Amino acid sequence: DAGVTQSPTHLIKTRGQQVTLRCSPKSGHDTVSWYQQALGQGPQFIFQYYEEEERQRGNFPDRFSGHQFPNYSSELNVNALLLGDSALYLCASSLRTKETQYFGPGTRLLVL
């Protein structure tokens, strides 16, 4: 049973660029949530997707956007990158009706 997968594992970008991160949920899961984990901190909720729509959003600017595809996989897009966007980006999957989320290995983004 495949768990949550994310790609790429690492990414280096420069300020002002745009980035797309990808996530495939655990088999059978229909909901994907994205979190940002800055160095030395706990993860912060970005947004959650279900039925291909953004259902909830945390305190992140509009530069952060996402998408969910019919196969439940998801993308996180960040425009106009800032140095402060450097972090580990975690994807978590779950069932819409269940409270437990399972995390992927993350994508580490470095903005120079």
6 with 102: CB under 8 angstroms? no
Among 33, 68, 74, 93, binds other proteins (CB under 8 A): 33
Instruction: Give the whole-angstrom CA distance, residue 30 versus residue 73.
Output: 9
Rounded to the nearest whole angstrom, what is the least distance from the CB of residue 105 to other proteins in the complex?
4
Binding pattern for the stretch 66-105 against other proteins, x by CB under 8 A and - elsewhere: ------------------------x-x-x---xxxxxxxx
* Structure-block tokens of residue 9: 């594992």
Number of residues that bind other proteins (CB under 8 A): 26
HEC string of 59-110? CCCCCEEEEECCCCCEEEEECCCCHHHCEEEEEEEECCCCCCCEECCCEEEE
Segment interacting with other proteins, rule: CB under 8 A, options 15-23, 28-36, 65-73, 79-87: 28-36
59 CA to centre of own chain:
14
Residue 60 lies near other proteins (rule: CB under 8 A): no
Q: Which chain residues interact with other proteins by CB under 8 A?
A: 4, 6, 31, 33, 35, 40-45, 48, 56, 58, 90, 92, 94, 98-106
